[in-house]
Amino acid sequence: MAFFGAGALKGLMVTLGYLRRKPYTVQYPEEKLQISPRFRGNTFVWYEDRCTGCATCAKGCPLGIIKIVTHPKPNPQVGSDYQVDVFDIDTGRCMFCALCVEVCPYDALHMGADFERAVPARQDLVITVDQLREMPKKPTTQFRPQLEAIDYKGEEELEEHEAGRWSL
Ligand code: SF4
Ligand code: SF4
């Protein structure tokens, strides 16, 4: 039989029931959850020695937010690679689909795991070639079965010969 306030009491009992449960949330940033090895953060890992400057990643980006400018290396041969002068990725517009990573024929570009890149100005979200060079070489395993095969968890930095499907 219903009585005045029964609904409120029922709701309160539900709330009290949750007090006994372990919370699903954590107090970020003091505490952080373990991310998946395949995580797509808003950084990239670029191995310059693996990169030929072919710009396949730029052509494969659905948003056209990768800008690559190259010049031929001295005495270029057929099939030779190029010196990369500009490699800008506008992560302010990026949807982190990882298609640029997937299409890279040389495993030179990988998704990174960092996500704490809040900046006051949108233009500061553009990752430049110099920033790419400096970023920690800790790729995620997104589209990288060779890294999953060695159970790589992103804890240590990888050299260029360790990141690709073949050694340089
Ligand atoms: S992750 Fe997707 S949107 Fe972002 S740069 Fe790569 S291809 Fe473009
Ligand atoms: S990162 Fe890969 S796809 Fe992009 S220019 Fe370098 S080799 Fe080509």
Atom of ligand 1 nearest to the CA of 89: 5
Q: Is 108 in the pocket of ligand 2 (CB under 6 A)?
A: yes
What global pTM score does this model have? Answer: 0.87
Query: Does 124 fall in a domain?
Result: yes
Q: Is 109 in the pocket of ligand 2 (CB under 6 A)?
A: yes
Q: Is 63 in the pocket of ligand 1 (CB under 6 A)?
A: yes
Show the CA angle centred on residue 121, arms to residues 117 and 127, nearest 5°.
Answer: 50
Query: Does 127 fall in a domain?
Result: yes
For residue 103, give its domain range.
Answer: 35-163
pLDDT, tens digit, for every residue of 126-168? 999 999 999 999 999 999 999 999 999 999 999 999 999 876 5
Query: Does 64 fall in a domain?
Result: yes
Domain count, the chain: 1
Query: Does 5 fall in a domain?
Result: no
Instruction: Give the domain CATH number at 49.
Output: 3.30.70.3270
Question: If DSSP codes are grouped into helix, strand and coil, which group holds residue 11?
Answer: helix
Query: Does 116 fall in a domain?
Result: yes
Query: Does 20 fall in a domain?
Result: no
Query: Does 49 fall in a domain?
Result: yes
